[in-house]
Amino acid sequence: MRVAIIGAGWAGLAAAVRAVQAGHHVTVFEAARTPGGRARALALPLPDGRELSADNGQHILIGAYTDTLRLMRTVGVAPEQALLRMPLALTYPDGAGLALPDWPAPLDAAWGIARARGWRPAERLALLRAAWRWQRSGFTCAPHVSVAALCQGLPQRLQREFIEPLCVSALNTPLHEASGAVFLRVLHDALWRQRGGSNLLLPRTDLGALFPGPALRWLQARGAAVRLGRRVRALHATGSGWRVDGEAFDAAIVATAAHQALHLQVGADASLPAPAAARVDAAWRAWQSAAAALRFTAISTVYAQAVAPVPAPTTAAAALLPRPMLALRAGADGPAQFVFAHDQIRELPPGAPPTRVLAFVISDSRGERAALEAAVAAQARAQLGLPVTVLRTVTEKRATFACTPALARPPAHVAPGLAVCGDDVQGLYPATLEGAVRSGWQALDALDAPDA
């Protein structure tokens, strides 16, 4: 088939790669000049005149993202080199928290909980008992249950230092609003399904080089057409397929964010019989209604530089942080839930001085930029003992959808020959890179689905 894919984010590129593998003739349209969607690279100038290739937000992959890792290998990226892999650790600057050993699942999780620092024996036992209950239930619960309700009865320290960081990083939604069913699914896949599933995978390069750039090169080398800087405005069903801004295709996949897809003009060609045209119009209106009902949440990343001189991180003792990633105690005194040390994740060029750059991540971000930056600077001094200078703050206002209980996300299938993909489309995962990749593959399958 001749397949048009509108959008070159991770979902659209995943669909394009799978379509080419299936033997289809693919054309990718992307309104921006660079691929990647919401997971893209940006330039970060430093005070000394250097420029870092950073990201529009600090992204984390985990070992359970098996489809994403497989797709990276397909387009020529070696995850072993492109990602820093380490066992899951939700530890705080004072050393408290949980760190898992590199053991088979779920022994690693059980041992990590049993040996967590700063937790009383009764608190560790309470979490082990909760995990046992969730395992007995098959890691499922009623659709309407929130994470807060799911964890009711757990000690407050556990909710604050374990459940909340996991929930806000995976679902980007507060505990009392977040879906318990989706949270349990993430817990199962990350902590209980396979060895290394909980491992943290931190990009050693910018997100553009991690997958979107190699994917475009892979596609073009196999004959796919890639049109960057080309915004699609209208899709029309015909008797033999779809016209994309007047160009004929057998099928089309809309791979933009749901709120952007709402602005597409989707309808039927004049040549299509009236009953078929009416079905297309009704299907698109129903899809728009589901997409319009989504509520979105923001993520802010505050890039800052430690002011105090720090030697090049050639030894663990010289590292800026005890670990490349630390959890932070978020609250009234500081909004960030995590901090990442750039120099401990990405290798510095030989002889280059350390950048001392830190990325502070604020999930479910709210408030004005100046206030966030001031609060993060105070948080860095109070919790890390580091005075910092803010370099840049990036806020994605629609970073993810609010993953609430019993949420009806828009479906992948719209009409014969028309599908939609994206991490906000109906699927098992919250708004993650793995969810986007799986959605792209799902959309290709949906092209063959019968009309509703």
- Kindly report, residue by residue over 29-55, the tens digit of the pLDDT: 999 998 988 777 788 999 999 998 888
Kindly state whether residue 387 falls inside one of the protein's structural domains.
yes
**Per-residue pLDDT averaged across 57-67, rounded?**
90
> Domain check: are 361 and 343 in the same one?
yes
Domain edge (last residue) among 195, 216, 236: 195
Kindly state whether residue 385 falls inside one of the protein's structural domains.
yes
> Domain check: are 286 and 413 in the same one?
yes
> Domain check: are 156 and 217 in the same one?
no
Per-residue pLDDT band for 312 (boundaries 50, 70, 90) equals: very low
Alpha-carbon distance of 392 to 272, in angstroms, equals 52
Kindly state whether residue 369 falls inside one of the protein's structural domains.
yes
Kindly state whether residue 273 falls inside one of the protein's structural domains.
yes
Say whether 201 sits in a helix, a strand or coil: strand
C-beta of residue 83 within 8 angstroms of C-beta of residue 206: no
Query: pTM (2 decimals)?
Result: 0.93
Per-residue pLDDT, 57: 81
> Domain check: are 289 and 300 in the same one?
no
DSSP string, 221-253: HTT-EEEET----EEEE-SSSEEETTEEESEEE
Alpha-carbon distance of 192 to 264, in angstroms, equals 41
Gap between the terminal Cα atoms of the chain: 22
- Residues paired with residue 392 on neighbouring β-strands, in sequence order: 303
* 83-86 and 41-45 beta bridge pairing: unpaired
Kindly state whether residue 111 falls inside one of the protein's structural domains.
yes
> Domain check: are 188 and 324 in the same one?
no
Kindly state whether residue 202 falls inside one of the protein's structural domains.
no
Alpha-carbon distance of 387 to 188, in angstroms, equals 39
Kindly state whether residue 200 falls inside one of the protein's structural domains.
no
Number of domains in the chain: 3
According to the 3-state scheme, what is the secondary structure of 408-448?
CCCCCEEECCEEECCCCCCCCCCCCHHHHHHHHHHHHHHCC
> Domain check: are 116 and 185 in the same one?
yes
How does pLDDT run across 392-421, given as a tens digit for each residue? 999 999 889 999 999 999 999 999 999 999
Alpha-carbon distance of 11 to 7, in angstroms, equals 8
How does pLDDT run across 354-371, given as a tens digit for each residue? 999 999 999 989 889 999
- CATH number of domain containing 73: 3.90.660
Query: Which residues, in sequence order, are CB contacts of 168 under 8 Å at separation 6+?
Result: 174, 337, 363, 364
Task: Check pLDDT > 80 for residue 450.
Answer: no
Per-residue pLDDT band for 176 (boundaries 50, 70, 90) equals: very high
User: How many degrees, rounded to 5, is the angle at CA 383 between CA 379 and CA 387?
Assistant: 65
> Domain check: are 50 and 68 in the same one?
yes
> Domain check: are 278 and 419 in the same one?
yes
Q: Whose CA is closest to 55, among 426, 415, 394, 407?
A: 394
Neighbours of 250 (CB within 10 A): 16
- CATH number of domain containing 274: 3.50.50.60
> Domain check: are 278 and 191 in the same one?
no
Domain limits for position 109: 95-195
**Per-residue pLDDT averaged across 25-29, rounded?**
98
> Domain check: are 431 and 288 in the same one?
yes
The half-sphere exposure of 134 on its side-chain side, counting CA atoms within 13 A, is 23
Core vs surface per residue 283-322: b (16+ CB within 10 A) or e: bbeebbebbeebebbbbbbbbbbbeeebeebeeeeebbbb
Task: Check pLDDT > 80 for residue 75.
Answer: yes
> Domain check: are 107 and 174 in the same one?
yes
Alpha-carbon distance of 53 to 39, in angstroms, equals 13
Alpha-carbon distance of 14 to 12, in angstroms, equals 5
Kindly state whether residue 439 falls inside one of the protein's structural domains.
yes
> Domain check: are 261 and 346 in the same one?
no
User: How many degrees, rounded to 5, is the angle at CA 192 between CA 189 and CA 198?
Assistant: 65
